[in-house]
Amino acid sequence: DTGVSQNPRHKITKRGQNVTFRCDPISEHNRLYWYRQTLGQGPEFLTYFQNEAQLEKSRLLSDRFSAERPKGSFSTLEIQRTEQGDSAMYLCASSTHRLSYNEQFFGPGTRLTVL
Protein backbone atom coordinates (compact mmCIF):
# COMPACT_ATOMS: atom_id res chain seq x y z
CA ASP A 1 0.00 0.00 0.00
CA THR A 2 1.42 3.34 -1.01
CA GLY A 3 -0.69 5.50 1.26
CA VAL A 4 -3.42 8.02 0.53
CA SER A 5 -3.44 9.28 -3.04
CA GLN A 6 -5.13 12.35 -4.45
CA ASN A 7 -5.82 13.41 -8.01
CA PRO A 8 -5.19 15.73 -9.61
CA ARG A 9 -2.27 17.23 -7.72
CA HIS A 10 -2.86 20.63 -9.27
CA LYS A 11 -5.94 22.20 -10.80
CA ILE A 12 -6.26 25.63 -12.38
CA THR A 13 -9.75 26.73 -13.28
CA LYS A 14 -11.66 29.85 -14.13
CA ARG A 15 -14.14 31.39 -11.76
CA GLY A 16 -17.57 29.86 -12.19
CA GLN A 17 -16.37 26.47 -13.40
CA ASN A 18 -16.99 23.21 -11.54
CA VAL A 19 -14.12 21.07 -10.32
CA THR A 20 -13.93 17.57 -8.86
CA PHE A 21 -11.14 16.03 -6.83
CA ARG A 22 -10.59 12.41 -6.02
CA CYS A 23 -9.13 10.75 -2.94
CA ASP A 24 -8.13 7.10 -2.64
CA PRO A 25 -7.63 6.20 1.02
CA ILE A 26 -5.45 3.46 2.44
CA SER A 27 -7.10 0.11 1.81
CA GLU A 28 -9.46 -0.96 4.56
CA HIS A 29 -9.44 2.45 6.23
CA ASN A 30 -13.10 3.02 6.95
CA ARG A 31 -12.77 6.70 7.93
CA LEU A 32 -12.09 9.44 5.41
CA TYR A 33 -11.69 13.17 5.95
CA TRP A 34 -11.44 16.23 3.75
CA TYR A 35 -9.58 19.35 4.89
CA ARG A 36 -8.78 22.66 3.24
CA GLN A 37 -5.57 24.60 3.80
CA THR A 38 -4.83 28.15 2.76
CA LEU A 39 -1.36 29.67 2.70
CA GLY A 40 0.19 30.10 6.12
CA GLN A 41 -2.69 28.43 7.96
CA GLY A 42 -3.22 24.98 9.36
CA PRO A 43 -5.67 22.64 7.64
CA GLU A 44 -9.38 23.21 8.34
CA PHE A 45 -11.83 20.34 8.58
CA LEU A 46 -14.48 20.11 5.86
CA THR A 47 -16.20 16.75 6.16
CA TYR A 48 -15.89 13.20 7.49
CA PHE A 49 -17.08 9.83 6.24
CA GLN A 50 -17.34 6.55 8.05
CA ASN A 51 -17.62 3.95 5.34
CA GLU A 52 -20.09 5.45 2.84
CA ALA A 53 -21.94 7.59 5.39
CA GLN A 54 -21.12 11.29 5.60
CA LEU A 55 -21.28 11.82 9.35
CA GLU A 56 -20.04 15.37 9.78
CA LYS A 57 -19.88 18.53 7.73
CA SER A 58 -18.18 21.76 8.71
CA ARG A 59 -19.86 25.14 8.34
CA LEU A 60 -17.09 25.80 5.82
CA LEU A 61 -18.76 23.31 3.48
CA SER A 62 -21.13 25.65 1.70
CA ASP A 63 -23.86 24.31 -0.56
CA ARG A 64 -21.51 24.73 -3.52
CA PHE A 65 -19.43 21.90 -2.07
CA SER A 66 -20.47 18.27 -2.16
CA ALA A 67 -18.58 15.16 -1.16
CA GLU A 68 -19.36 11.54 -1.78
CA ARG A 69 -17.88 8.21 -0.88
CA PRO A 70 -19.75 5.57 -2.82
CA LYS A 71 -19.24 2.03 -1.56
CA GLY A 72 -17.02 3.29 1.22
CA SER A 73 -13.86 3.30 -0.87
CA PHE A 74 -12.63 6.36 -2.81
CA SER A 75 -14.16 9.77 -2.26
CA THR A 76 -14.81 12.77 -4.47
CA LEU A 77 -15.09 16.42 -3.52
CA GLU A 78 -16.89 18.66 -6.01
CA ILE A 79 -16.95 22.43 -5.96
CA GLN A 80 -19.57 24.06 -8.13
CA ARG A 81 -19.35 27.63 -9.47
CA THR A 82 -15.85 28.10 -8.11
CA GLU A 83 -14.86 31.43 -6.58
CA GLN A 84 -11.42 32.92 -6.12
CA GLY A 85 -11.77 32.34 -2.38
CA ASP A 86 -11.87 28.60 -3.04
CA SER A 87 -8.20 28.68 -4.01
CA ALA A 88 -6.48 26.45 -1.49
CA MET A 89 -4.88 23.06 -0.92
CA TYR A 90 -7.50 20.35 -0.47
CA LEU A 91 -6.24 17.52 1.70
CA CYS A 92 -7.69 14.08 2.18
CA ALA A 93 -6.91 11.82 5.12
CA SER A 94 -7.95 8.34 6.17
CA SER A 95 -7.88 6.35 9.37
CA THR A 96 -9.01 3.03 10.74
CA HIS A 97 -11.30 2.31 13.64
CA ARG A 98 -8.85 -0.40 14.69
CA LEU A 99 -6.53 2.20 16.20
CA SER A 100 -7.97 3.70 19.36
CA TYR A 101 -6.16 6.99 18.89
CA ASN A 102 -7.41 7.71 15.35
CA GLU A 103 -4.08 8.40 13.66
CA GLN A 104 -4.87 10.06 10.37
CA PHE A 105 -2.83 9.48 7.23
CA PHE A 106 -2.83 12.40 4.84
CA GLY A 107 -2.49 12.49 1.10
CA PRO A 108 -0.29 15.02 -0.73
CA GLY A 109 -3.25 17.28 -1.47
CA THR A 110 -4.77 18.89 -4.54
CA ARG A 111 -3.82 22.52 -5.05
CA LEU A 112 -6.68 24.49 -6.57
CA THR A 113 -6.13 27.86 -8.20
CA VAL A 114 -9.22 29.78 -9.28
CA LEU A 115 -8.49 32.58 -11.73
Partner 1 sequence: DAKTTQPNSMESNEEEPVHLPCNHSTISGTDYIHWYRQLPSQGPEYVIHGLTSNVNNRMASLAIAEDRKSSTLILHRATLRDAAVYYCILTGSARQLTFGSGTQLTVLP
Q: Is 108 left (phi over 0), alpha (psi -120 to 50) or beta?
A: alpha
Backbone angles phi, psi at 86, to 5 degrees: -80, -10
Task: Single out the residue of 2, 40, 59, 84 in contact with partner 1 (rule: CB under 8 A).
Answer: 40
Binding of residue 65 to partner 1 (CB under 8 A): no
- Pick the closest to residue 53 from 77, 76, 72, 36 (CA basis): 72
CA 68 remoteness from chain centre: 10
Which residues in 10-39 contact partner 1 (CB under 8 A)? 31, 33, 35
User: Per CB under 8 A, which region of 11-19, 62-70, 71-79, 103-111 contacts partner 1?
Assistant: 103-111
Q: Where along the sequence are the contacts to partner 1 (CB under 8 A)?
A: 4, 31, 33, 35, 40-45, 48, 50, 55-56, 58, 91, 93, 95, 101-109
